[in-house]
Amino acid sequence: MEKFLNLKSIPSYLPLQNIDTDMIIPKQFLKTIKRTGLGKSLFYEMRYDENGNLIKDFTLNNEPYNKSKILLAGKNFGCGSSREHAPWALSDFGIKCIISSSFADIFYNNCFKNGILPIKTSEQIVIELSEYSKRKEEVEVDLQKQEIKFGNKVVKFELDSFKKKCLIEGLDDIGLSMEKINYIDDFEKKLEANKPWLIKND
């Protein structure tokens, strides 16, 4: 997983509350188990018309917001089903940070496992950031300092220290397991020596 330190981007804004995971990536795109290729179907029913053409009024279809790495959203973002394809689609599109006043718990935790930083802040700050985004100027997110910087303003955000460590070091669940590979190898060697009948030899 790619390491996350600092991020600078013109943010895009979705002024909607309760954006659920089916809105993020509709069920017809859940057939794949690959993390790539889902970005083109992100927010499919909001981005495309019934003929598959891009809807011009949708934020992420327009410059410079179609290249945004920071997404601003209304409260309760990521509610609904627990599909991990939702953060996969966001990440594949290029979104690395989501700022909202609240998130659904499962989606929130899935973000960290896929290299996305979900930031909880007040609704007022989200509104201020959305106004700033209209100026098409960059917002900076400093994970190490836990700060959002825009204009002359600096906003601190809270974050669990373990989740922060995982993003900074680029550790997903597999990466965390690999950190303990020496302990795993030692355990297997002891198991093979003490209980060889449990070890399957082809």
pLDDT in tens, 94-150: 999 999 999 999 999 999 999 999 999 999 999 999 999 999 999 999 999 999 999
Q: How far apart are CA 125 and CA 146, in angstroms?
A: 15
**Token digits of residue 13:** 């804004």
8 forms beta bridges with 140
pLDDT tens string for the chain (202 positions)?
A: 888 889 999 999 999 999 999 999 999 998 888 888 999 999 999 999 999 999 999 999 999 999 999 999 999 999 998 889 999 999 999 999 999 999 999 999 999 999 999 999 999 999 999 999 999 999 999 999 999 999 899 999 999 999 999 999 988 665 555 555 666 666 766 767 777 776 766 5
